[in-house]
Structure 1
Amino acid sequence: MWARRTWTDGDHGYLAELYDRITAPTITTHEPILRKAPDLSDAWWDSLSTALDAIAAVANNRVAVRQEYLDRAMPHYLGIPIDTTVPAWTAAHGDLHWANLTAPVLTVLDWEGWGSAPAGYDAALLHSCSLLVPDTAAQIRHRFAHILGTPAGRFAELVVITELLQTTTRGDNLELEAPLRARLRFLTER
């Protein structure tokens, strides 16, 4: 099934494309932040790991995260002097959070922002969106240690923390600010 719809609202134009109808529910509804532990099978986690590896290997000329943004935003929102040079770039979904993942069968939704990002970006974003559920955050750190446990993965976490701290200045994700700052301290005091 494929469908396409365009529309305008004031000065803004929109495009929606439907490639397939998904019947499995998303893990969270209406927000990226996890508030209770999901009941996910080992097979689901294995599928996610396989998907992230496959996404990272895709050659592309799209951009999900811009170096210029990092140069400006990381020192400002992290509040520390930091080398903003990305250690490694890979393809990323670019918006991998709980409202874009289905269960019990994994489907990754919402692909308009995919492109190049710091290696480990998707795992880092999912981890940061899980900080209110420490057991799930720990499970992500364990399952994706091969990504998050590397210098590139730690840098990706700092990128995501930067982005999410920026959202708190607009009044969004306020409940994540304290856990994000705690994770920032952990990553930078190592």
Structure 2
Amino acid sequence: MSRSPVLRHGVELPDAWWHDLRHALDHLSRTSTSREAVGEQYIRRRVPEFTGVTPDEITWTTAHGDLHWANLTGPKLTLIDWEGWGTAPVGYDTANLYLHSLPVPDLAERVRKEFAHVLDAPASRVGELTAYTEILQAAARVPFYAELADGVRQHLDHLRAVFATEPGSAR
């Protein structure tokens, strides 16, 4: 779909593509594994450092671990680059795809719409924070992440406000 993880142009993807992606990620989430895509130690140490939010409970799932536009094909869906798959917080994959879509607002909105059932769930907040953290941490050394950093910070401000209204989700 893209040579870069960050999509900088709009794409017309059929509804079937979005359906297939939702189905693939749902199927993957139910796959049992001892592999780890994101470690709890990383989350506990780096998320507060980069977001100012200390996560409480983490709800784990199985994830692709590197879901962005360079690892998706279209118009027929194929997910590629599986070396990092394993357990990650719920919402991690979909948050990554969303953040890598920010330069194309219509596409970012489509990702939020297609995955609202995941991204709007309180259990996904830690997954979102983890995706934000990884991009903000990489921004100093990776140019395309530096370009995303301001948009990520804006969304982080919104998520912090959500945390303030959800008792027990973070401090």
Q: Distance in 1 between matches of 2:150 and 2:84?
A: 27
- Residue range with higher mean Cα deviation, 86-95 or 39-48: 86-95
- Separation in structure 1 between the aligned mates of residue 57 and residue 83 of structure 2, nearest angstrom: 22
Matching residue's letter, 1:28: S
| TM superposition shift of 1:115 | 0.2
2:29 aligns with one of 51, 56, 64: 56
Name the residue aligned to 2:151: 179
Identity %: 45
2:125 counterpart residue number:
154
- The answer to whether residue 103 in structure 2 is matched with residue 129 in structure 1 is no
Q: CA deviation at 1:76?
A: 1.2
**Which is helix-richer, 1 or 2?**
2
SS of the residue 1:91 aligns to: strand
Bigger-Rg structure (1/2)? 1
Give the distance between the partners of 1:105 and 1:143, measured in 2 at CA: 17
Return the letter of the residue paired with 1:179: G
CA distance in 1, matches of 2:55, 2:125: 12
Instruction: State TM-score, norm by structure 2.
Output: 0.91
Structure 1 residue aligned with 2:17: 44
- Distance in 1, Cα, partners of 2:20 & 2:89: 21
Gaps of 5+ in 1: 1-26
Partner of 2:80: 109
Tell me how large the CA RMSD over aligned residues is. 1.1
The structural deviation recorded for 1:155 is 2.2
* CA apart distance, 1:171: 4.0
In structure 2, the gaps of 5 or more residues are 163-171
Q: Which one has a larger percent strand, Structure 1 or Structure 2? A: 1
Per the TM alignment, residue 174 of structure 1 is displaced from its structure 2 partner at its CA by: 1.0
Which consecutive aligned stretches of 4+ in structure 1 deviate over 4 angstroms post-superposition?
none
Q: Give the residue type in structure 2 aligned to 1:147.
A: V
